[in-house]
Amino acid sequence: MKTIMAVDDSASMRQMVSFVLKNGGYEVVLAVNGLDALSKLKGQDLHLFLTDINMPEMDGLEFTRQIRGMPEYKFVPIVLLTTESAERKNRKARRQARRLGL
């Protein structure tokens, strides 16, 4: 079974993502922000990261930078999610993601 980590500070988003993925046959690890996610890695065999961009403590872009520095997760796909509608914020996130090679 493939395992996906979903990182989002919104409880309703975590619940919805978890529901959809579990119904699709995936195992799901949930985290409330980047710091929480890092603490839950512990060498887990993860196949995909889904992360919100805007979160307290550690946002999705910093979380992405951190995991890209770990050899075991360097090539695991990452999907950045956001509910932000402001185009300016989205452009900034895309620029930062390109700098990270995403």
CATH code assigned at 53: 3.40.50.2300
Please give the share of the chain, as a percent, with pLDDT higher than 70.
Answer: 84
Question: C-alpha distances in angstroms, 45 versus 21, 48, 79, 80, 99?
Answer: 16, 10, 17, 20, 26
Q: Does any domain span residue 95?
A: yes
Residue range(s) defining the domain that contains residue 19: 3-70+85-99
Nearest Cα neighbor of 53 from 97, 12, 17 is 97
Query: pLDDT band at 45, cuts 50/70/90?
Result: very high
d(CA 82, CA 90): 8
**Confidence (pLDDT) at 33:** 95
Does the pTM surpass 0.75? The reply is: yes
The owner of tokens 């409880």 is 11
Q: Does any domain span residue 78?
A: no
Query: pLDDT band at 43, cuts 50/70/90?
Result: confident
Q: Does any domain span residue 36?
A: yes
**Confidence (pLDDT) at 4:** 97
Q: Does any domain span residue 53?
A: yes
Q: Does any domain span residue 80?
A: no
Q: Does any domain span residue 79?
A: no
Number of domains, the chain: 1
The owner of tokens 């995403």 is 102
